[in-house]
Structure 1
Amino acid sequence: MHSHDKGNGRLKELVAEATPAEPKLPLVHSTDGYLFNDALAGGHLEPQDCNVFVGEALLYTFYGRPSFRPNMTELATTMDHYLPVCLIFKRSFSGEVRRVFPFDTGAFVNEFYRSYLHRKMVLGDFALEADLETPGRVISTFFGTARSYLQARSETSAKLDAGQFEAKSYAALIDARDSNAMDSRGSGIEVQIAEPIAIADWIEAAVVPSTFVDSSIGRELRRLNVEMLPYDVQGRLRPNEYTSTITDRCMHYYAKHGMLEEILS
Structure 2
Amino acid sequence: MALPPKSSIIPPYFGAAIISKQGSAMTPLDRFLQRNSIKTAQGLPLVHSATAYTVRKIVETKQIVSREECKVFAGEKINYFFVGRPAYKKQYEIEGDYWELPACVILEYGSIPIKRIFPFDTGAFDLYPDFIKIMERSSFEATNTSQAIERLIGSFFISPSAYFKLRPRSSSDFERRFNIGVLDEEIKALYKLILSKSGKYDDRRFSIEVQSDPIIALTNNVLAVVFPEEYCESKEYMKWVTSDLNATAVPYQTFPLKKEFYYYAMYEAVLKFYQDRGMVK
The bucket for the TM-score relative to the shorter chain is 0.7 to 0.9
Superposition deviation, residue 175 in structure 1: 1.4
Q: RMSD value over aligned CA atoms?
A: 2.2
1:198-256 C-alpha deviation (Å, 9 max, x unpaired):
22421110111111122132231122221111110112x23221112111111111111
Match of 1:107 in 2: 124
1:46-79 C-alpha deviation (Å, 9 max, x unpaired):
133211111101110001111111xx23332341
> Are 1:142 and 1:155, in contact at CA under 8 Å, matched by a contact in 2?
yes
> Are 1:11 and 1:164, in contact at CA under 8 Å, matched by a contact in 2?
no
In structure 1, distance between residues paired with 2:164 and 2:39: 15
Amino acid at match of 1:100: I
Q: 1:141 to 1:176 in 2, by over 3 A?
A: same
- Helix, strand or coil at the partner of 1:117: helix
Question: For 1:151, which of 162, 165, 178 is the aligned residue?
Answer: 165
Superposition deviation, residue 126 in structure 1: 1.0
- Helix, strand or coil at the partner of 2:151: helix
Match of 1:258 in 2: 278
> Are 1:21 and 1:139, in contact at CA under 8 Å, matched by a contact in 2?
yes
In structure 1, distance between residues paired with 2:275 and 2:105: 16
1:84-121 C-alpha deviation (Å, 9 max, x unpaired):
11111123x3321010001000100xx211333262x1
Matched residue count: 248
> Are 1:10 and 1:125, in contact at CA under 8 Å, matched by a contact in 2?
yes
In structure 2, distance between residues paired with 1:97 and 1:16: 19
In structure 1, distance between residues paired with 2:208 and 2:39: 13
> Are 1:99 and 1:129, in contact at CA under 8 Å, matched by a contact in 2?
yes
Match of 1:137 in 2: 151
**Residue pairs, 1:116-127, within 5 angstroms:** 116-117=131-132, 119=134, 121-127=135-141
Match of 1:12 in 2: 30
Asked whether 1:226 is paired with 2:226, we answer: no
Amino acid at match of 1:35: T
What's the TM-score once normalised by structure 2's chain length? 0.81
Q: 1:36 to 1:96 in 2, by over 3 A?
A: same
- Helix, strand or coil at the partner of 2:155: helix
In structure 2, distance between residues paired with 1:130 and 1:44: 27
**Residue pairs, 1:30-49, within 5 angstroms:** 30-48=49-67, 49=69
What's the TM-score once normalised by structure 1's chain length? 0.85
- Helix, strand or coil at the partner of 1:61: strand
- Helix, strand or coil at the partner of 1:97: coil
Q: Which moved more, 1:185-194 or 1:33-42?
A: 33-42
**Residue pairs, 1:176-187, within 5 angstroms:** 176-177=196-197, 180=199, 182-187=201-206
Superposition deviation, residue 22 in structure 1: 2.8
Q: 1:201 to 1:257 in 2, by over 3 A?
A: same
- Helix, strand or coil at the partner of 1:25: coil
Amino acid at match of 1:14: F
Q: 1:20 to 1:166 in 2, by over 3 A?
A: same
Superposition deviation, residue 180 in structure 1: 4.7
1:7-43 C-alpha deviation (Å, 9 max, x unpaired):
8711121123454633221111101122122223322
Amino acid at match of 1:189: I
In structure 2, distance between residues paired with 1:244 and 1:131: 33
Superposition deviation, residue 123 in structure 1: 1.0
Question: For 2:107, which of 86, 89, 103 is the aligned residue?
Answer: 89
Unmatched runs of 5 consecutive residues or more in structure 1: 1-5
> Are 2:52 and 2:101, in contact at CA under 8 Å, matched by a contact in 1?
yes
> Are 1:89 and 1:203, in contact at CA under 8 Å, matched by a contact in 2?
yes
Unmatched runs of 5 consecutive residues or more in structure 2: 1-23
In structure 1, distance between residues paired with 2:146 and 2:120: 15
